[in-house]
Structure 1
Amino acid sequence: MKILHVFPRFLDDFAVLDNLERMGGAERYVMNLCRAQRELGHDSTLMLFAGKESGFEVDDVPILTAKATPFVPSINQNFDPVPTELRRFVKGLTCFDMIHTHNLACDVSFLLSLIRRVTKRHYGLLVTDHGWNGLTLARVFIASKPMMKFSGFDGILPVTRASSSSYENCTRVFDPMYGGVDPEVFRPLNGERRSDILFVGRLTPYKKVDNLIRAIPLLENKPRLIVIGPTLDLQYRASLERLANELKVETKFLGRISDQLLVDYLSASTALVLPSTDELFGLVLLEAMACELPVVANKAGGVPEAVDNGRTGYLVRQGDIKELADRLQFLLTNRDEVARLGSAGRQRVLQEFTWKHVAQRSLAAYQEVLQ
């Protein structure tokens, strides 16, 4: 099967391709899904957008760039490109059996649905939403969910059940793909775990790292907090540094790091915390579980579909800093519980959440559409 994954990201510098998987969860998701489908014998290609057409291969994934311009880059950054050579763009789509576009609220996904509706081309078209919301024309379309009935999509292929429940009466919703992890890369390393607490993710307000910093002083023998991930909001990063200083919380901001270094931290800490108020799924939860690290996360979005509460980690109420602190204190003083949760977490990843599982679930949906 010839498959095209369309990921609406504008590249202002082709050098970022070398670090595409470390840019964020959605980028990592699409790259690994494409690679896993190829390993299962399918011809999967990833399309991005840039100022000119080009072709690359990055980590065994063929990448095409369509000529485009970013839409309202001051607000959307590089996440909402609009193709500028529409005829060539439309013609290129006909080479594929299945087109899988990512991010429902992006204008290129809306454009693909219109092209399919108008041209009645005989390829499948599915969309997966990764939770991105910017200032786009597509948001007007999806805000009126009944209009989805008249789109050119064959349906929504969601990451989680929580992310698609509101569309069930408007369009076909397939079983969720969930997220994945490479258990050969993310695996526990030998060595003793320190008392460090980890956060991994983009630094932006909805991640609520400030709540995690506020929880640390409630713990006995305050542990060190390690914050890993790119800064999207400089003011928020500065506010976190001030808060950590005021509360005397030893905090280390590492920025974006390699997967190998991330595995080192996941294998040597006590817990990973994801205190977000909104989270599609949280690939980092799976990466931590694969390294036998217990996770503590807010009951937000699709997180409860990743974390088996009490078996692979703990779910806490949003904004409940005391409950978060209580869970962390229990883990810091009960090493047997850390080992039990960690072992169960890795087993769950191996049984349900590898990229091969994700690829198989996506291919089953493609087959339903094409038949």
Structure 2
Amino acid sequence: MERIEGGVTAAKGFEAAHAAAGLKYKDRTDMALIYSQVPCVTAGTFTTNVVKAAPVKWDQQVVKSGKKSQAVIVNSGIANACTGAEGFGYCKDTADKAGEVLGIDPEGVLIGSTGVIGKQMPIEKLKAGIEALAPKKASTLEAGTEAAKAIMTTDTKEKEIAVTIQVKDTTVTIGGMAKGSGMIHPNMCTMLSFITTDAVITKEALQSALSEDVPDTYNMISVDGDTSTNDTVLLLANGMAENEEITCGTPEYEEFKAALHVINEYLAKKIAGDGEGATALFEAKVIGAESKEQAKVLAKAIVCSNLTKTAIAGHDANWGRILCAMGYSGAQFDPEKVDLFFESQAGKIQIIENGTAVDYSEEEATKILSEPEVTAIADVKMGQESASAWGCDLTHGYIEINADYRS
């Protein structure tokens, strides 16, 4: 596996474009197109929130139907959530317009929306945006980057990555882009992730690889504990690498899934680290667990603790908050056996041993916790399993961004 430059346009046959439709923002791009030169096999995972946005319902139908897709239309600023039958109608209007201007089957057009909930979509502006996107589509790395920028809301930076793998003697590329900063607590979140690959792969294998990986990547991040109405991950495979077809249970499938994991984990961590108002990516790693599930529950409880998140913001080694969060997680463990460490580029320090504080330097701990990426490692000494979860610190900036988000 090799990391390469680029995102959604890195794989053969994929193009992208960006446009400023003025849906909500007046000073930036707010629409993106991902386009494949040939129809793609598709896979997807979606929010577990009972309140699902219209684009989520639309995409679920497309993915479940088995229809091939050649385009994804994404807008930022307006979520098209809680908009009733009218909102679902906007999805059909979007797909029909994309089909018209791109010359493709509208029934396979996929849609992503993010932004304010409850606001109706200015559909004529959206249609005009699609018309602007079509002639601009290009396969350049720059086109992919600009598309990644266009789907941002409160994000401070675009998020993209690409890798290559060898399937027998053929090079296969996987690239992706994502957005997400607030309302992040996946069981999916107001996160959108779009992944493209030129692999020849069965739909069953594509969906299986994605569904198996999401619980350990996107579902292990949290910014604010709010599971969004719009969370969507879409994976498109156009087969233009012309490799031997990848099927479930083969070594090639495992290699593809490992590469997909690199893509998903990278994008998930970028979302967590770019949380609204955040100054640091905060990772909780639980080791020595008796089961994977126990480790995941404990790690997620730590990164979701607001008191722990504020301690990270203050660079304060307030370890009692971490042990407390583990205690109410629902997972069973012996608190009198837990060892806890903090680690960053500035070093590693042990804070507690067997549930009680060791004689550590507060000054050294503060230095370690002042880095832009910080890890808490909890060893529960019960077995060989481990898991990581990712979040961010909680600052005054989160309130400033969300107190007047609609305006």
The alignment's TM-score, normalised by the length of structure 1, stands at 0.26
Higher normalized contact order (CA 8 Å, seq sep 6+, divided by chain length): 2
Whose strand proportion is higher, 1 or 2? Answer: 2
The alignment's TM-score, normalised by the length of structure 2, stands at 0.25
